[in-house]
Amino acid sequence: MASLANPQSDTTALYRQALEKYLRDESEAALHAAYLLGRRLLREGSGILPLIELHHQVLAALPPEGVSTERLRAAGRLLAEALSSFEMSLSGFSEANAALRGINQRLEDELRKLAHALHDESGQLLTCLFIRVDQARQELPPTAAGFLDEIKGMLDAVESQLRRLSHEFRPTILDDLGLGPAIDFLAQGIAARSGIPIQTDDRLRRRLPPPFEVALYRCAQEGLNNLVRHSRATRARLQLQTSQGRVELKIEDNGCGFDPRQPGAAHSLGLLGMRERMHGLGGEMQIASKPGAGTAIQLSLPLPPEGEYYGAGTPAAGR
């Protein structure tokens, strides 16, 4: 919007009236008028800086003899009241982000429990089944050997699928080795199942706080699943790096692409979840795509203070 300090604007007139009234009598009515004006500006999408500019413009228009230290302090109290709506809005946004982070953490805790149940309890049951099949081999006639071998082959496949699911629900490699190796492991598994070659390029040479690693891993997981379901791509690439004080994850494919400007095109449930994970940690997500030209999703988070390094990282690799 245009500068709020335009002398002809209704906003300027309202603020001038409230300021002049407050400087005369320091009444609650003037403070309330300033508060309502702040709420109005917030609804209209104005920012804090234009309001401060308006305040200084109105102050500068006052007669010089009418400005004293005490009156400047009073004017500051009025400005603080006008800014209170912005403060409450920012506070509410921070609380919503904190709640979102808490929900994500609880979900991760539940996924960790589920992953352990899949891996440990199901593994114990399958071990018992393998033992029983071997016992049956000894008790049944030799003609049953082929049938029992077929059963063991199916049990092997079930065990492999359960192990894969438990790793993807909550990969221990993410906790043990960090984001780069976990994303590489994820990409290799999805590439093997989908037949789409996925190259990973890990240029991150350090560990991130667990919420950062989990958020970026989940976004990579969702991005690759979307790619497999919708993109019709024949190759894809994930790049993890740091740039200008931020950690960035880029997911690219050569698929059919889409027009992000179309209503709802960039607002599927999966993409919304990715965007919310980034916003919850002060980050952002950008989508570059057009029909027939593939898609690039870039996720970015502010780089936290340097922590533990995890070695040389994962070299560019793919399947």
Cβ neighbours of residue 188 closer than 8 Å, sequence gap 6 or more: 198, 317, 318, 319
Of the two residues 298 and 282, the one the predictor is more confident about is 298
- Report the pLDDT value the prediction gives residue 286, as an integer from 0 to 100: 93
Task: For the chain, give the percent of residues with pLDDT over 90.
Answer: 20
Domain 177-319: assigned CATH number: 3.30.565.10
- Report the pLDDT value the prediction gives residue 254, as an integer from 0 to 100: 95
Amino acid present at 102: G
Query: Is residue 251 a contact partner of residue 226, using CB atoms and an 8 Å limit?
Result: no
Q: Give the mean model confidence (pLDDT) for residues 2-18.
A: 60
Strand 236-243 with 198-202, pairing: parallel
Give yes or no for residue 319 having a pLDDT over 60: no
- Report the pLDDT value the prediction gives residue 267, as an integer from 0 to 100: 55
- Report the pLDDT value the prediction gives residue 311, as an integer from 0 to 100: 39
Look at the chain and count its residues.
319
- Report the pLDDT value the prediction gives residue 14, as an integer from 0 to 100: 75
CA 50 to CA 281: how far, in whole Å? 27
CA 204 to CA 182: how far, in whole Å? 12
Mean pLDDT over the full length of the chain:
76
Residue 289 pLDDT level (bands cut at 50, 70, 90):
very high
- Report the pLDDT value the prediction gives residue 223, as an integer from 0 to 100: 92
Per-residue pLDDT of 115-126, as tens digits, reads 665 656 666 777
Sketch the domain layout of the chain as residue ranges: 10-95, 177-319
For 117, 148, 164, 206, the CA distances from 200, given in Å and listed in that order, are: 30, 40, 19, 16
Edge to edge, what strands does the sheet with 198-202 contain?
198-202, 236-243, 246-253, 295-302, 284-289
Max avg pLDDT among 39-43, 140-144, 175-179, 246-250: 246-250
How many CA within 13 A on the CB side of residue 157? 5
pTM confidence score:
0.54
Query: Is residue 55 a contact partner of residue 72, using CB atoms and an 8 Å limit?
Result: no
CA 145 to CA 136: how far, in whole Å? 9
Q: Give the mean model confidence (pLDDT) for residues 105-118.
A: 64
CA angle 190, 196, 198 (to 5 degrees): 70
